[in-house]
Structure 1
Amino acid sequence: MSRERYDVIVIGAGLGGSACAGLLAKRGLDVLLLEKNRVAGGKAMSLAKNGFRFTAWVVIGAPVRDNYYQRVLDELGVADLAELVVPGTQGSIYRNPAGRYSMLPDMPVGETDPNVIFAWLEIPEHRRPAALEFFAELTFMPSEKIASLEGRSFASWLDQYDLPLSLRAFLTSLCCDGMFMVPSDRLDAAEAIASLQEMFLKGGGVFCKGGFGRVAEAYCEAVRRFGGTVQMGTRVERILVESGKVAGVRTSDGRTYRAPVVVSNAGIQPTVLKYVGEEHFEPSYVDYVRSLVPSYALLGYRYFLSRPVTDRPYGVIFSDTSPWTSDRLERAARGQASREGVVYYEVPSNYDPEAAPPGKQILLTGSFCPPDPDLPREEIQAWADAGERILFDAFPELPAAIEDKDLYTTRSVANATRDSAMPGVGGETIGLAQVVGQAGTKRPRIESPLEGLYFTGADAGARGVGTQMAIASGIRAAEIVWERRRHGR
């Protein structure tokens, strides 16, 4: 039975919100966690259909070692509720200029061998020493030098090197386009290099059996075990403000819950512009919030297959020309350039035997598109068709094995996760983009100007890749709220 007064209310049971709520509950605070959906996980929620189970869309975790998923599961004592798995292999596919597709050879997790990559990318022998020198510089760059690159685009940093086109495509397609969902000419170089280092040295490709929503569900269970309250299917309509301070929330069913602290995992823009209201902030802060740029979106299919078509757990399909630039994305959105680019795929049944009925397989795909949740149907289909053509070329046996397929779109993402508070925004895959001016020391703060209001999730206060960045933000938000409470602020 829920009550009306709490120490802290957390809005949204995504990975950041649920981690924050669990950690605060463990510290002894009376926590209420509200989630509009019937399941936890946010942008990484788990779904099930006809005996298949999976994360709603492609989600590939990195790094593997010392990852935030396990760190918080262990701290909250719920590691038995979510089983992480590291397949150890991947299936990235390079299409060479002649149109031939080849798969990346296997390498041990966390032991990236540049020479294996160079051979796969068909880099001539005489260009490999310089490429190896570049690889070493990127992988072992000191943190002080990485920090000095903040404010510079990753593309401009790459431009100073004479890299083979295929190696540059590998870095931007396999790593940066997928890790950050922004083109490299806008991606912050420090953010990219720090995350690439972690992936190369600690491995990439960690998943959760049953989907990453299981991790968030475990965090929610920790909230309950530590005496907190979790209410699913409860949509927050308004964050209440009294005398210039947060006072609680009102839900769509008309109920009011009181608390001096509200931590929002619902996105900075929806929180400020919709749930609180512009009138409670200085105009300059409202302008700042409106100016924040979202990441691009993923759009793709869930293929339910009658038989296996690949033994690989995940990968990216790319070519020398597939990496996106801002200009090409804008022209493609207007129908003035090809929409064919990088395609990501994940095969949950290849790392989780219970993800598909016996003898069957599920394969998820994702490719770039604008984050507008109101994209016209014909534009959605054009983006989807572009990705599907590439997938079918790479896996020619796949079409004949399809029993059913679901298309997920920017509207699917917005409906399930982030409410749209501005035109053209809401369907983004990650949240606020890690572009120059919005990353590192310029990342939006967890603390808001409104007393008692905090942000968590991929939008605020952390760096890294997607879901693990969200958890890192949740950890930091819990620390900030706890410290301020201890000191009576």
Structure 2
Amino acid sequence: MEQRSEWDAIVVGSGMGGLVCAAYLAAGGRSVLVLEQHDVAGGSSHVFRRRRAYEFDVGVHYLGDCGPDGILPAIFSGLGLDGRVRYRAMDPYGFDRIALPGLTVDVPVGWPAYRGRLVEAVPAEAAGILRFTDVCAAVAAETRALLLAEHAPTPAEVMAGTPATARWGRRTVAELFDHCGLTPRARTLLAAQSPNYGMGPHQATVSQHAAVTDHYLRGAYYPEGGGQVMAASLVEALEAHGGELRTRTRVARIRVADGAVTGVELTGGEVLRAPLVVSNADYSRTVLELVGEEHFGRRLVDRTRRATMALPFATLYVALDKELADRPNANLWWYRDGDIEGAYQRLAEGRIAPVPFLFFSFASLKDPGARNVCPPGHTNFQVMTLCPPDYAFWGVHDGPAAGERYRRNEDYQRRKAELTEAMLSAAEEAIGPFREHIVHLETATPLTHERYTLTTGGTPYGLAQWGGAGNRPDTRTTVEGLHVVGAGTRYGSGITGAAVGGLACAAQILDRRLLPETHRGVRLGDPDLLPERAAGWDPLAVSRGARRRDARGLAGIG
């Protein structure tokens, strides 16, 4: 089949933001090509398989706000994907368990219940906790109202409708802690889920913290069949509306002439033309490498060069030949002590021993009986911790995105082995002994994540600081026809943040208020065009794109 070389739009990268944007542009009548350097689409939402028995999610550990009024289901429904992604609710009375020495708090759905649990846990700090959560709830409500507004609000309307955000939105969480007079123990409880956005209280803004907290307090869910189902569904919508996904295709350059994009150049030299390019690549790499700083203003380039990234993760992927007894369907946030700000400070200094905190995600509890997760009677779970942000911690200089070979580097291997052992020891402190039942153990470092997604520093969360506090770029750039999506934009990180950003980008291009439209039930996509899913439908195969769907090398289950 001959490959076409001209398109209305080319999307570089197939993370959640890129796929959502591409699918909506295709449903809106544009010819769209998505280019992905990895073997499968999905970015941080993709999965991998081991031993023909276990499937591990890379980045989808839980989703918030997937009920009847949810934003993420609305985005998928707008493409005609109703029912193609189903969401399993986690325990509404405690979807996150926060464990500090001598104190355990189960986080329930809803702000009132959440406040009640926190006050019950530390009653001496009730006044400060209520003040803190009142501010966060107000900021979150204002932000959501702006996103779902039927018309674009004027600056005056924004100011009038967001008093809490105007006062607190761009200030740090630590400043609000200070204002509320909270102790380190209460601060640790309130910020325990901050690794969900990869920043500590002295770096994260109140708006960021409020949005993520509110997201999960609207209900915590897990996609039935795992995260790859989400990416595969978007690929189906893209292809059904005439778009194309090409995997194993790396873009070397986004071409610009006379201040406007003209297309892209691939690593092999092939040139593909389009008057519109949407980069789902890492924002800093987009500006400084793919496009080139000569095409942007000096202030933007300086800001991008000075930008810092959110912290990256190290992850243990664990399979056991037994079930974990008496565990609720909840994540576990385990803290060694009650000083979260001290833990982040030690990370900033490159100190991680002993491991200060761990996040546990139990996939086999969230999707029970799923044949892709693990065999009956087995357990599939991940253990994660944040890592220092620099390459020097791992004994490397340039990183895998720049082509550095690191996996046989002795310093890297030693550090990885040390961290694996430290995380295993801490994990057994948290949930009890399990090593003798391990049948698969694999460690992914930030360099692993960078190798597959090409994100700066291996973080899934994008920019931490880009100029002033809370600043992040919009999806529209100063280069005509160039847009950006993904975890680095102002719409936030995580699956839903990236999806909202992708939809916002498509809305700018199509000149429509797509999020309010889809939230009230409008469809751009035609469900009758979508393919039927036969028995044995494999989202990993679909996510390779139509041209490579039947290519060799795809891992199976069972």
Alignment TM class, shorter chain as reference: 0.7 to 0.9
Flag the 1:461–1:114 CA change in 2: closer, same or farther, 3 A. Answer: closer
Alignment of 1:75-474 (within 5 A): 75-88=78-91, 89-96=94-101, 100=102, 103-105=104-106, 107=108, 112-119=113-120, 121=121, 123=122, 125-128=123-126, 131-132=129-130, 134-140=132-138, 143-174=162-193, 177-200=194-217, 202-203=218-219, 205-310=220-325, 311-313=327-329, 314-318=331-335, 319-323=337-341, 327-331=345-349, 333=350, 335=351, 338-352=353-367, 353-354=369-370, 355-372=373-390, 375-376=394-395, 377=412, 378-419=414-455, 425-433=456-464, 437=468, 439=470, 442-463=471-492, 465-474=493-502
CA distance in 2, matches of 1:436, 1:209: 39
The question of whether the paired residues in 2 share the 8 Å contact of 1:92 and 1:104 is answered with yes
Distance 1:412 1:312, change over 3 A: farther
Is 1:44 aligned with 2:9? no
Q: Tell me the TM-score normalized by structure 2.
A: 0.77
TM-score between the two structures when normalised by the length of structure 1: 0.87
| RMSD after superposition | 2.5
1: distance between equivalents of 2:252 and 2:261? 14
- Percent identity over the alignment? 24
Distance across 2 between alignment mates of 1:434 and 1:77:
36
- CA–CA distance in 1 between the matches of 2:509 and 2:387? 36
* 4+ residue segments displaced more than 6 Å: none
Give the drift of 1:135.
Answer: 3.5
Pick closer, same or farther for the CA change 1:187–1:27 going to 2, 3 Å.
same
Letter of the 1:54 partner, please give it.
F
Whether the 8 Å contact between 1:186 and 1:436 is mirrored in structure 2 is no
Distance 1:226 1:285, change over 3 A: same
Please tell me whether the aligned partners of residues 223 and 229 of structure 1 are also in contact (alpha carbons under 8 angstroms). yes
**Superposed displacement of residue 328, structure 1:** 2.2
> Higher mean Cα deviation, 322-331 or 295-304?
322-331
Report the CA distance between 1:473 and its aligned residue. 0.6
Change over 3 Å in CA distance of 1:95–1:382 after alignment to 2: same
The one-letter amino acid paired with 2:333 is: V
The answer to whether the 8 Å contact 1:187/1:436 transfers is no
Deviation at 1:437, TM superposition (A): 2.1
Q: Distance in 1 between matches of 2:475 and 2:469?
A: 13
Offset at residue 195 of structure 1 (A): 3.4
Distance 1:250 1:139, change over 3 A: same
Letter in 2 for 1:233: R
Could you say which residue in structure 2 is the equivalent of 1:31?
32
Q: Distance in 2 between matches of 1:241 and 1:107?
A: 50
**How many Å separate the matches in 2 of 1:323 and 1:389?**
23
- The answer as to whether partners of 1:240 and 1:250 remain within 8 angstroms in 2 is yes
Aligned partners of 2:191 and 2:340 also within 8 Å: no
Is there any run of 5+ residues in structure 1 with no aligned partner, and where?
Answer: 420-424, 485-489
Cα drift, residue 196 of structure 1: 2.5
User: What code does the residue aligned with 1:3 have?
Assistant: R
1:105 CA displacement: 4.3
Q: Structure 2: how far apart are the matches of 1:45 and 1:190?
A: 28
Deviates more, 1:468-477 or 1:320-329: 320-329
SS of 2:432's equivalent? coil
SS in structure 1 of the partner of residue 359 of structure 2: strand
**Structure 1 residue 325 displacement after superposition:** 5.7
How much has 1:294 moved relative to structure 2? Answer: 0.7
* Deviation for aligned residue 1:256: 1.7
Distance change in 2, residues 1:199/1:351 (3 Å): closer
Give the AA of the match of 1:429. P
- Work out the CA distance in 2 between the residues paired with 1:93 and 1:190: 22
1:480 equivalenced with 2:508 (yes/no): yes
Cα distance in structure 1, aligned partners of 2:230 and 2:424 = 30
In the alignment, which residue of structure 1 is the partner of 2:7? 6
- 1:137, distance to aligned residue in structure 2 (A): 4.6
Q: Residue 125 of structure 2 contacts residue 186 of structure 2 at CA under 8 Å; is this kept in 1?
A: no
Tell me if structure 2 keeps the 8 A contact 1:302–1:364: yes
Alignment pair present for 1:74 and 2:81: no
1:211-245 CA-partner distances (Å, limit 9, x unpaired): 22321221111010011111122111111122332
Contact 1:147–1:190, Cα closer than 8 Å, also in 2: no
How far, CA to CA, are the matches of 1:373 and 1:214 in structure 2?
33
| Structure 1 position 60 matched with structure 2 position 85 | no
Residue 316 of structure 2 contacts residue 383 of structure 2 at CA under 8 Å; is this kept in 1?
A: yes
Looking at structure 2, the residues matched to 469 and 178 of structure 1 have their Cα atoms a distance apart, in angstroms, of: 15
What's the offset of the Cα at 1:443?
1.8
- Give 5+ residue unaligned stretches, structure 2: 143-161, 396-411, 513-558
CA distance 1:481–1:133, shift in 2 (3 Å): closer
Matched AA of 2:328 = R
Number of the residue aligned with 2:539: none
User: Following the alignment from structure 1 to structure 2, what is the Cα–Cα distance between the partners of residues 351 and 287?
Assistant: 44
> For residues 31 and 338 of structure 1, what CA distance do their matches in structure 2 show?
47
The superposition leaves residues 21-73 of structure 1 with CA deviations (integer Å, 9 ceiling, x where unpaired) of 00000000011111111212102212222221231256332334444431221
Do the aligned partners of 2:343 and 2:356 also contact (CA within 8 Å) in 1? no
SS at 1:92 equivalent:
strand
Work out the CA distance in 2 between the residues paired with 1:126 and 1:326.
25
CA distance in 1, matches of 2:17, 2:358: 27
Query: 1:324, 1:82 → 2: CA distance?
Result: 40
Query: Displacement of 1:158 after TM fit?
Result: 0.7
- Maintained 8 Å contact 2:173/2:201: yes
Change (3 A) 1:283 1:110: closer
Distance 1:257 1:209 in 2: 37
